[in-house]
Amino acid sequence: MGGKRDVQYVTEWYQYGRTQFLKESTVDKILVGVMSNQPNFNIDRKKMLFASGGTAGYIALMKKDGSPYSLEYIQAWLSHPFTDMIFQTIGSSFEGDFYTHGTAMYKDVPLLPIDFSSFYEHDKYSEIVNNVKEIEKLNVQIISGVVKHKQDFIERKKQAHIRNINNIFDELLEYKMVNNNE
């Protein structure tokens, strides 16, 4: 009734009914759907506003200062089937095969470490990051509304990149187990 929103970039009164769980960040981040039935990790480069709280909405994962790991690598690892099984195991389960990806869980989810002094591991890391960047480019094309036959082709390319990423992680996991690395 003539009130003013206290949320940056919101101009219409009806866009948000409550503001206490709206969050914003001025850095690139990974937005995570807290309640999901599949991996739902998306790199946000547009400084989006997001709703956070409880077992719904979204949380943001930001790169720690000084971390050698890129958001692309972190996103790919969190989306890998092995990591997804961890979320399914330690997260709360809900109807429809949904499970949580809440903030508190990340202390129990390991990040596959990379020995950047190892040519093999560094090369695999770079392959993963490059594949994620290619997927980002393909997603832009899909969102832009390309014609159906091109969209199908782009989606197949995207799925091939995802398979490639998962295969590289599988190779890294096996390499680390065989070489008795972490």
Query: What pLDDT digit, counting tens, does each position of 100-120 carry?
Result: 888 888 888 899 999 999 999
d(CA 89, CA 84): 9
Q: Are strands 22-23 and 35-36 parallel, antiparallel or unpaired?
A: unpaired
Q: How remote is the C-alpha of 169 from its chain's centroid?
A: 16
CB 115 within 8 A of CB 181: yes
d(CA 48, CA 44): 7
Sheet holding 50-53, edge to edge: 22-23, 50-53, 56-61, 29-33, 41-44
Query: What pLDDT digit, counting tens, does each position of 121-141 carry?
Result: 999 999 999 999 999 999 998
